[in-house]
Amino acid sequence: MIEHLKSGLSISTHFGCGLKCSYCILSTMNGFNNGPVLEIEPKDLIYQLLNECDFYCKNETPIMINNRTDPFLPSVEPYTLEILDLLIENNISSPIIIISKFPPPTSLKKYFQFLDICYFYSYSGIETDFNFSKLKIDLEKIKYVVPKNSRFHYFRPIIPGLNDDFEYMKEILLKFRENEFTSSVIAGFRITNLNKHLIKDDTINVNKLNYSHKLVNNNIYEINKFLINDSYCIFRHTSCAIANHLKKFNKLNYFSKSGHCFLSCPNYKNCFMKQIDLKRILEQLEKNFDVKYKFKITDNKIEIISPCTQELTAYIKNAYGCNIIADRVGLSKSEEVILNEK
């Protein structure tokens, strides 16, 4: 499966996961908890990526591997490594994103010589997570396999009343800082009818929540003030961590947005000094997509003046880094299922 998500292009050989995390948004998709199930062989997946995918800008668009499952589940791991082999074989230099609740296999170590891999270890401090009691052992393995500048902590989801206590969060964050991770990405909680019972904050009326968006308390990011006394970074978005790793501006344009962008970010200067050639981008888009979509420049933005998909807007942002406006944007395939849209 290939699908453009907000932070990059998701490519997956498998669908589904047997970990059954109580908060997982993908678990609402039919058959997800029965997985992982092989849907496509790695060779066929990479062929589709390079030859049939409209929304991939080679060596620019970040590639997220097997995030429709967990890339290091025992039955999925060999396929994840085969994908990496094929990316090397095809001279792909795009940033490679691997997000897992498992520590990486020792065999991953060699791949950092050939690919720009960002490894995100997903740890939320929630006691029901299978890796909750394995943190110390996992961190030791990660330190052996993953280079310092490629280690990231995915602190998700933050669930009100469950794991959002500042002192508890600081305790977890300090463990990752002490183990020489470059940063943590703190992400909110995507609400569904199946997981809203997890919220233990009595001040929140769960029945009024819009589950098409993540529940995020902007005050959470005040934790930056307590931890940013050295080079350790706290980000709200995966794309910010990736941009900081690349030492380039964040192409999703969160720069200077309140609650999203922080003056303490070491990559702030790169986002501040970004330069965009909208005329060149417009020419390229018209060359690639003019049969399907119409574009124009409006107020220093690219405007899509025909019905389009979220995949298209995400692609343009990741490939070119420009602001996008569009009136008629449809849901992605996954979101249509998750939100029960027809």
Beta bridge partners of 324: 302
Indicate whether 337 pLDDT > 70: no
Q: What is the pLDDT of residues 69-120, one digit of tens each?
A: 999 999 999 999 999 999 999 999 999 999 999 999 999 999 999 999 999 9
CATH superfamily of 2-272: Aldolase class I (3.20.20.70)
Question: How confident is the model at residue 64, as a pLDDT?
Answer: 95
Tell me the pLDDT band of 18, cut-offs 50, 70 and 90.
confident
Q: What is the pLDDT of residues 298-321, one digit of tens each?
A: 888 999 988 888 888 888 888 888
Q: Output the CA–CA distances (angstroms, integers) from residue 247 to 189, 271, 306, in the order listed.
A: 28, 9, 34
Residue 160: is the preceding peptide bond cis (ω within 30°)? no
Q: What is the pLDDT of residues 132-190, one digit of tens each?
A: 999 999 999 999 999 999 999 999 999 888 999 999 999 999 999 999 999 999 988 88
Question: How confident is the model at residue 134, as a pLDDT?
Answer: 94
CA distance 298 to 294: 13
Answer CATH for 278-338 from 3.40.640, 2.60.40, 3.30.70, 3.40.1620: 3.30.70
Domain boundaries, the chain: 2-272, 278-338
Q: What is the pLDDT of residues 236-276, one digit of tens each?
A: 999 999 999 999 999 998 888 888 888 878 899 999 988 88
Using alpha carbons, select from 175, 45, 36, 183 the residue that is nearest to residue 118: 183
Question: How confident is the model at residue 5, as a pLDDT?
Answer: 84
The 3-state DSSP class for residue 118 equals: strand
Indicate whether 14 pLDDT > 90: yes
Indicate whether 3 pLDDT > 50: yes
Indicate whether 324 pLDDT > 80: yes
Question: How confident is the model at residue 338, as a pLDDT?
Answer: 61
**Rounded average pLDDT over 45-70:** 91
Using alpha carbons, select from 34, 131, 17 the residue that is nearest to residue 68: 17
Indicate whether 26 pLDDT > 60: yes
